[in-house]
Amino acid sequence: MKKMIRVREVMKTHFDVVDGMATVAMALDTMKHVDTKTLVVRPRHDRDEVGMVVLSDIAREVLAKDRAPDRVNIYEIMSKPVLSVHPEMDIRYCARLFDRFRLSRAPVLDEKRQVIGIVSLTDLVMKGILPNL
């Protein structure tokens, strides 16, 4: 019988949160956890959804299009709403969800709908499978 590994065990708990009105330049300047490659966009109010921007979005929407990072707001390039996962989800189901929706990462939300982490395909493999080989 295989040991069940939960998303909570492999997710990154250090991530950066930005406001949608921040410019790309401001967001990058405040980024502390570059290893996540993700910026979580804070909801504007209680009924709003979490957004996300990954560094590839910035490369594709700002750098490649020669747009000025200090003139592009995060809300212009973010994904919202995003699919999220529960911290108690089995990593095998998380991998299937990512495959089905062609995701590379997702925020992890607790019961209060607060972002408590980010999980990526890399995390699922490197922290979920590799240590158990």
Report CA Rg, the chain.
15
pTM of the model as a whole = 0.90
The pLDDT tens digits for 79-101 are 999 999 999 999 999 999 999 99
Task: Check if the beta carbon of residue 16 is closer than 8 Å to that of residue 39.
Answer: yes
- What tens digit of pLDDT does each residue of 28-87 get? 998 888 777 899 999 999 999 999 999 999 999 999 999 999 999 999 999 999 999 999
pLDDT of residue 1: 63
| Topology (CATH level 3) of domain 7-132 | CBS-domain (3.10.580)
Burial class for 100, CB neighbours closer than 10 Å (0-12, 13-18, 19+): exposed
